[in-house]
Amino acid sequence: MLRANRGVIVALTLVVGACSYLLWSRQTEFYEATATIACTDPLADAGVVGLAASRAPAAVQSSLCVRAVRDRAVVRRLGRELERDRTDPELLGPTFASADRPGLVLVGSISTDPDVAAQVANEMAEQVAVVRRKEERKRLGTAISSLERSRERLAARFPTRRVAALMRLFRLRTVRALSDPVEIVDPATPQDAAVGPDVLRNTLLGMLFGFTLGIVAALLREGVTMRLRRAREIERELELPLLAALGAERRTDKEAFKILRRNLSFLSPTPIRAVAVTSAVPEEGKSTVALALARAHVAAGRRTLLIDCDLRRGRLADELGVAPTPGLAELLEGRAKLAESSRLAGDGLTFIPPGEGEGGPAELLESPTFHEFVSWAADEYDRVVIDTSPLLPVADTLLLLGAVDAVVVCVRASRASRGDAQLARQALSGFPDLPAGVVVTSAPARERVG
């Protein structure tokens, strides 16, 4: 399936890849700059000077700094600083932050100008430091207030501990005044090499997308083309010669059936006296074709016998306006004579309806009596046309093919599927010496034969 659509897959892969290349090769190059900041917990210094305080791990401090990059206060302050510096807004790109190692955070910016990228990254690092300092001083202030209240209660109950409490309070105030929770350890510098766009990578990704799109298109196309739409397509799928391609109005297409009658004679070097008309599935137009072919033989001056061997769903009796019984089934079972089973359906055309049998259709059509009757009819009449059951639903048609000289398979364009055609071809492969041809019904006007 994919092999048959490899042209579509290759074309989409190349086209999407080429479009991706043209798109990304025309994009303006952009640069990246990063500043490294160190994030520490001021209470760690308090512990050094003797304060018993809980300290946050370095990883937690890093996450606080990363979160600060997205803080509204930081974004507003950054915007004001850049506006004060009169930085061109069109050169501004996205900013980002990530934890490099515990306690270290990378703050970066992307811009089409390397100087602007470095400026924004450094300004962002400065604003993160400002906001984090305020947060930590607020936290230390809360700790100092709590310690002052505790000192007063301890002094009232334990006067000897007053001095120790004063020392801790002094040390904590010292930490708040001197410590810095955020320090820029490596400022951003303009970079000479652009980080994007990566034309090669994006082109390869575009080709991969095109290849995927080609696979999807091939699958959709295969789903759509599961139906056989054209006469030559049906001919190739069945591997049978095309005898005729008929329009929707088959009953009045007399010239087309003259061509069918003539082409049918070319299937075999020996005369074809008895021919079976069948189809892969129901509703392919086989009964109409069988009747029209019989009438074409009558128009050519041949005494013709039309037999409806579709013992399950025979329709020709209604088409001709004659009684459906007694018919072929009663004749084969010996419950009716030939004169009772046959009907005159016009000058030179004799018709035998399917009738109603007491036994199964398969048993009747497989019986020696049926084969002997067809052989007798081929000698008695100039032509014998047999309308049969569809090939795939039941085995009736395969049981009678040994009694005929040729078989015509009817296929309705735009309705028959490839699967049905393949199964019909496999079914007929059991009769390699039997001449066979295909008639396409409801064919497009430009493909009609006749």
Closest to 386 in 3D by CA, of 445, 314, 305, 312: 305
Is residue 98 classed as helix, strand or coil in its secondary structure?
strand
Mean pLDDT of 396-415: 93
Q: Which of 30-34, 60-64, 214-218 reaches the highest mean pLDDT?
A: 30-34
**Residue with the larger pLDDT of the pair 6 and 190:** 190
- Indicate whether 2 belongs to any domain: no
180 and 258 share a domain?
no
| Host domain of residue 350 | 231-447
Task: Print burial letters for 67-78: b (CB count within 10 Å at least 16), e (below 16).
Answer: ebbebeebeebb
- The per-residue pLDDT for 332 is 94
Which tokens in the block code for residue 175?
Answer: 């930490």
Percent of the chain with pLDDT over 90: 43
- The per-residue pLDDT for 53 is 45
- Measured from the Cβ of residue 433, the count of other Cβ atoms closer than 10 Å reads 5
172 and 293 share a domain?
no
Per-residue pLDDT of 313-345, as tens digits, reads 899 999 999 999 999 999 999 999 999 999 998
Judge whether residue 241 has pLDDT over 90.
Answer: yes
Question: Is residue 172 within 8 Å of residue 150, measured between CB atoms?
Answer: no
Judge whether residue 51 has pLDDT over 50.
Answer: no
* Domain count within the chain: 2
- Indicate whether 59 belongs to any domain: yes
129 and 271 share a domain?
no
The rounded distance, in Å, linking the Cα atoms of 75 and 128 is 9
- Residue where a domain terminates, one of 152, 179, 196: 196
- The per-residue pLDDT for 151 is 64
- The per-residue pLDDT for 60 is 76
Task: Print burial letters for 124-149: b (CB count within 10 Å at least 16), e (below 16).
Answer: bbbbbbebbeebbeeebeebbeebee
Q: Which CATH number belongs to the domain containing residue 373 in this structure?
A: 3.40.50.300
270 and 338 share a domain?
yes
Judge whether residue 48 has pLDDT over 60.
Answer: no
- Going from the C-alpha of 205 to that of each of 7, 199, 262, 293, the distances in angstroms are 20, 10, 59, 60
Question: Is residue 46 within 8 Å of residue 175, measured between CB atoms?
Answer: yes
DSSP output for 4-41: TTHHHHHHHHHHHHHHHHHHHHTSPPBEEEEEEEEE--
The rounded distance, in Å, linking the Cα atoms of 16 and 416 is 35
- Residue where a domain terminates, one of 196, 221, 250: 196
**Residue with the larger pLDDT of the pair 251 and 241:** 241
89 and 36 share a domain?
yes
Mean pLDDT of 348-361: 92
Mean pLDDT of the chain, nearest integer? 84
Residue 109, amino acid: S
Question: Is residue 180 within 8 Å of residue 32, measured between CB atoms?
Answer: no
41 and 189 share a domain?
yes
The rounded distance, in Å, linking the Cα atoms of 424 and 235 is 12
Which tokens in the block code for residue 171?
Answer: 């040390």
CA angle 443, 445, 449 (to 5 degrees): 70
- Indicate whether 285 belongs to any domain: yes
- Indicate whether 111 belongs to any domain: yes
Closest to 178 in 3D by CA, of 125, 124, 135, 133: 133
What pTM, to 2 d.p., does this model score? 0.56
Q: Name 355's Cβ contacts closer than 8 Å, sequence gap at least 6.
A: 311, 324, 325, 326, 327, 328, 329, 330, 331, 336, 341
122 and 34 share a domain?
yes
Write the burial class of residue 170 (CB in 10 Å: 0-12 exposed, 13-18 middle, 19+ buried). Answer: exposed
- Indicate whether 209 belongs to any domain: no
- Indicate whether 5 belongs to any domain: no
86 and 144 share a domain?
yes
Per-residue pLDDT of 135-147, as tens digits, reads 777 877 777 777 6
310 and 168 share a domain?
no
Which tokens in the block code for residue 73?
Answer: 């206060």
Task: Print burial letters for 398-430: b (CB count within 10 Å at least 16), e (below 16).
Answer: bbbbebbbbbbbbbbbebbeeebbeebbebbee
176 and 285 share a domain?
no
Outline where DSSP puts E strands in 167-317: 182-186, 242-245, 274-279, 304-308
> What interhelical angle do 58-69 and 114-157 show, nearest 10?
130
Which tokens in the block code for residue 36?
Answer: 């490294």
79 and 126 share a domain?
yes
Query: Which region among 98-102, 208-212, 444-448 has the lowest average model confidence (pLDDT)?
Result: 444-448
Question: Is residue 280 within 8 Å of residue 323, measured between CB atoms?
Answer: no
- Indicate whether 6 belongs to any domain: no
Q: Which CATH number belongs to the domain containing residue 64 in this structure?
A: 3.30.70.1130
| Dihedral over alpha carbons 211, 212, 214, 215 (to 10 degrees) | 120
Q: Name 135's Cβ contacts closer than 8 Å, sequence gap at least 6.
A: 64, 181
What are the backbone dihedrals phi and psi of residue 133, each rounded to the nearest 5 degrees, phi first?
-65, -45
165 and 238 share a domain?
no
Per-residue pLDDT of 143-183, as tens digits, reads 777 767 766 666 556 555 666 667 776 776 776 666 677 88
- Indicate whether 396 belongs to any domain: yes
Band the pLDDT of 89: cuts 50, 70, 90: low
- Residue where a domain terminates, one of 173, 196, 219: 196
